[in-house]
Amino acid sequence: MQVEISLDTLSELIGLVYDSALEPNQWRVLNARIVEMFPGHVATVLTRDGNRLLGVYTPVGFNSRVQSLYETMTEEGQLTDADSAVTPDHLSLISREGEPQVGDVTQTRTAMSEEEFRSTAAYRTFLKPAGLGHWTALRFAQNGTRIAILTYCENERDPTPKDTDGLRRVLELISPHIVRGARIARALYMAKEAAETYKGFLDGIALPLLIADAEGQLQVANRAGQRLLDRGAVFEARRNRLRLLNDEDDHGFRRALRGIAADSTPRGQRIAAEGGALSLCIAPFHPSMSTHLSSELDVYRRQPLYAVFVGTQGKHAVNTGLLRDVFDLTAREAEVCAALLAGQNPAQIAEGSGRALKTVRNQIQAVHEKVGVTSVAELSEALSVFRAVGAMFDGRAGPPQLTGGGRHAG
């Protein structure tokens, strides 16, 4: 009995294609729906490199009978033929029209006679032991010799009449969308990899870094910047909008953003904060990404972005909160680190803090390990990066370009 495909059903399937292309177990829901429409079939996603099988993926996991034919299975659940390549007719549909291309739908029933099909190694070695017979296949992706195929095998143990003509008709209708969906999924995967690489680069910056738009809406923070936000001692991010805790400081921060928007010149701001004074450097941020899509630019015109680096002034001790943000020091370890930079020795730190000398020495060792140094001299050099923010403005002729205003400026 043939299944009639209405426009509503076809529209539903096309929508399902694009949703299913982005699933972690790609095509799971789509395959389940097609098998529901065409009972008596077993759906798999088959991947191979030349004549070597790479993986067999099904909507509900792996076919246990197929699994038993292989010697190894990776943690990701990929079935592999560990020792030897297989013959071409194990995996390739022998077609009189030649090798199928991406987007082609092929069937063993039309490509070869029944006798030819039953004599193939693919049927004798793989399909027959699993109770499977003829298949309908759609090649949807290819990279050199590596290909991916949606395969729908007839379940010979299921007496349900198989509508193979209807199945082929539906696959041919949705084939362009499956190919396009696979390409979209690949593009998004590559974009995600690029974003993760970009985030990893930002995390490699020692200073806390926050990137915001002209309204102060936070776009991204590196690891140290996120710790600074989590502490809530300098900035807060209500509904993802950056705000300095002190109203006067926050007004200065807004003025800095407006000023940079007007002349693209970086601004500096000094603020009082728990654990010691801080300096902010606010500068235009220009990621090297662009779009040439006119409609995208019309509707989603890119807003300018600004990088906010958090550090300290050269004449001030490093803020203990920054030590915690950047090096993941405990509050006590940050206090010990600041004392070392101020010139105190372990005995003086112990006496001033009321802690045992052994405890202080252990904390000093922890500081050295977390910062990656072996001496106070190396520690001082490593932490000089915090003073870079203040030095951007402190060394200029004339008054530094500050926007904090009021009691915290100058």
| pLDDT for 119 | 86
CATH of 209-408, one of 3.40.462.20, 1.10.10.10, 3.40.50.300, 1.10.357.10: 1.10.10.10
Digit-coded pLDDT (tens) for 249-270: 999 999 999 999 888 888 888 8
Q: What is the pTM of this model?
A: 0.59
Amino acid at 331: A
Q: Where are the CATH 3.30.450.80 domain residues in the chain? A: 7-190
Both tokens assigned to 99: 């090798």
Q: Which of 313, 330, 327 is nearest to 392 (CA)?
A: 313
CB of 304 closer than 8 Å to CB of 214: yes
Nearest CA-CA partner of 310 in 263, 275, 265: 275
Is 49 a residue whose pLDDT tops 50? yes
Q: What is the pLDDT of residue 298?
A: 60
* Torsion, CA 189, CA 194, CA 199, CA 202, rounded to 10: 180
CA torsion through residues 133, 139, 140, 141, sign: positive
- Residues 285, 307 contacting (CB under 8 angstroms): yes
- Cβ contacts of residue 152 below 8 Å, gap of 6+? 34, 35, 38, 41, 42, 43, 44, 135, 136, 137, 167
**Where, residue-wise, is CATH 1.10.10.10 in the chain?**
209-408
Give the confidence band of 169 by pLDDT, cuts at 50, 70, 90. Answer: very high
CA atoms within 13 A on the CB side of 258: 7
> What is the tens place of the pLDDT at every residue in 207-220?
899 999 888 999 88
Whether the predicted pLDDT of 299 surpasses 50: yes
CB 390 within 8 A of CB 359: no
Between CA 58 and CA 355 the distance in angstroms is 62
Superfamily of domain 7-190 in CATH is Transcription factor LuxR-like, autoinducer-binding domain (3.30.450.80)
Q: Which residues of 182-195 are buried (b: 16+ CB within 10 A; e: fewer)?
A: beebeeeeeeeeee
3-class DSSP assignment, residue 396? coil
pLDDT the model gives residue 126: 74
Q: Is the pLDDT of residue 115 over 70?
A: yes
Mean pLDDT value across residues 83-100: 48
Note the helical H segments in 88-158: 88-91, 108-111, 114-118, 121
Q: Length of the chain in residues, anyone?
A: 410
CA–CA gap between residue 163 and residue 165 (Å, rounded): 6
The residue behind tokens 């008709």 is 169
Q: Residues of the chain with pLDDT > 70: what percent?
A: 79
